Amino acid sequence: MTGFTREDTPVAMEGGGLDFRMQEAGGDLTVSFMHLPQGTDMAPALKGLEGDMCQCPHWGYVLKGRLRMRTASGDEFYEAGQAYYWGPGHAPEALEDVDLVEFSPTAEFTAVIDHVKAQAG
């Protein structure tokens, strides 16, 4: 068995206050630690994916802050202390500084991250 800490997890993306770390956790899952500064809107970086939204499912926990999750069926709101499941078809926006820890299927998550990196660079 393996434990994960934010500090020991490799940085996948950073800049402008964003700190995103991810590592394969085994069993085709990836663990990630994310800090999204207030005002971060991931929708522009997700354009070009199906429905212009992230299609990877995520299971996680909001450690700090509050965010809005845009979905095809409307907005949902999450805040510190809540565990969540986000199914395919979502785009987050940080309403406050947000810290998350989540677990996602590795192949699907890697495809989304590669797309977001390509949009940024």
pLDDT digits (tens, 9 = 90+) for 10-20: 999 898 899 99
Q: What pLDDT, on the 0 to 100 scale, is given for residue 2?
A: 80
Higher pLDDT, 121 or 98: 98
User: Is 77:50 a contact under the CB 8 Å cutoff?
Assistant: no
Residue ranges of the domains in the chain?
35-98
As a whole number of angstroms, the distance between CA 8 and CA 82 comes to: 24
pTM of the model: 0.91
Which of 57, 54, 55, 35 lies closest to 46 in space, CA to CA?
54
Per-residue pLDDT for 1 more than 60? no
Which residues neighbour 15 within 8 Å (Cβ) at sequence distance 6 or greater?
120
What pLDDT, on the 0 to 100 scale, is given for residue 41? 94
48, 119 Cβ separation under 8 angstroms? yes
Q: Which CATH architecture has domain 35-98?
A: Sandwich (2.60)
What is the Cα–Cα distance from 18 to 51, expressed in whole angstroms?
24
32-91 pLDDT, tens digit each = 999 999 999 999 999 999 999 999 999 999 999 999 999 989 999 999 999 999 999 999
